[in-house]
Amino acid sequence: MTLNLVLVEPAGARNLGSVARLCANFGVAELRLVAPRCDPLGAEARQMAVHAQAVLETAPQFADLAAALADCGRVVAATGRLEGAPLPLHGPAAALDWLGAGEAPAAEAPGDEAAGGGEGAPGPLPLALVFGREDRGLSNDELLMAGRLLRLDAGSAYDSLNLSHAVAVVLHEWHQRRGQTVAPLGSAAAGAGAMVAGAFPDPAARAALEAALGDAEALLLEVGFLLPHTARARMAKLRALLQRAQPDSGEVALLRGMVAQLRWAARHPCPPGAPL
């Protein structure tokens, strides 16, 4: 399973260097940076990375979180919120079991390249762990790009964890859990704490789901179901619904086909008296 760690607008160079070192410690495939607010190659980041400076040097940068997650399937985002999160909150065990316990996707249907296929039989989509800004975390729009929200418990007197410390706790838990035997769904071991193979069908690539949501929003604006001043709030509810469902690539393709047909029908109404 290929795990990417995504940092959104990291501001502390020392935190960033520490996270790079953690990526090397725990075998993370790639560190991805969304609009960093510090120099990833500066002296402070390099000092904290120690022998993991190559992680900083090869870390790709993206303009926004959607671009950083476009090729990923399962996404878990960390949040410190207790209230107001747009999706249910999970502890590390439940969130990471979901992240690592899918089936390898079957070959995509011909022409379904947007769902993460492309030419040939694709392998499993990359996984992603997302951490937000040190000062304010992730926005609701960003949290809605995840299939699961992960929250770490801390003491009530001061429950805000340092970014690199939170990453360390989560990656340690991931490392521990991925070393456990993967139990088949329905076996006696399932539910005992190990990752459960086949428990959750693999979701479509983020880019495919975002394209489907874009198609749906355009159609719903066109037919008047959405209004420009309320579209964002209502689309957030639709996005939350789909994120709870985590549709796979075939289901996303079905949704896009339905939207395309509905758009055609809206633009070609039957004349009065014509048979339906």
Q: What pLDDT sits at residue 276?
A: 57
Task: Answer yes or no: is 228 within a domain.
Answer: no
Q: What pLDDT sits at residue 246?
A: 87
Task: Answer yes or no: is 249 within a domain.
Answer: no
Task: Answer yes or no: is 116 within a domain.
Answer: yes
Confirm if 246 and 203 have CB atoms less than 8 A apart.
yes
Alpha-carbon distance 76 to 90, whole Å? Answer: 10
Confirm if 31 and 157 have CB atoms less than 8 A apart.
no
Task: Answer yes or no: is 266 within a domain.
Answer: no
Q: What pLDDT sits at residue 155?
A: 79
Across the chain, the runs of DSSP E, i.e. the strands, are 3-8, 30-34, 61-62, 75-78, 89-90, 127-131, 148-150, 183-184, 196-197
In tens, the pLDDT along 159-212 reads 789 999 999 999 999 999 886 544 443 444 444 445 554 556 788 898 999 999
Task: Answer yes or no: is 223 within a domain.
Answer: no
Q: What pLDDT sits at residue 274?
A: 66
Q: What pLDDT sits at residue 156?
A: 77
146, burial (CB in 10 Å: exposed 0-12, middle 13-18, buried 19+): buried
Mean pLDDT of the chain: 85
Confirm if 260 and 238 have CB atoms less than 8 A apart.
no
Q: What pLDDT sits at residue 243?
A: 86
Q: What pLDDT sits at residue 275?
A: 67
Q: Which residue type, as a one-letter code, is found at position 51?
A: H
**Which is it for the CA torsion 219, 224, 229, 231, positive or negative?**
negative
Interhelix angle for 231-245 vs 206-222, to 10°? 140
Regions of the chain with pLDDT less than 70: 102-122, 179-200, 273-276
Task: Answer yes or no: is 165 within a domain.
Answer: yes
Alpha-carbon distance 77 to 4, whole Å? Answer: 12
Range of the domain at 114: 3-200
Task: Answer yes or no: is 17 within a domain.
Answer: yes
Total number of domains constituting the chain: 1
Task: Answer yes or no: is 260 within a domain.
Answer: no
Alpha-carbon distance 251 to 101, whole Å? Answer: 20
CATH classification of the domain holding 175: 3.40.1280.10
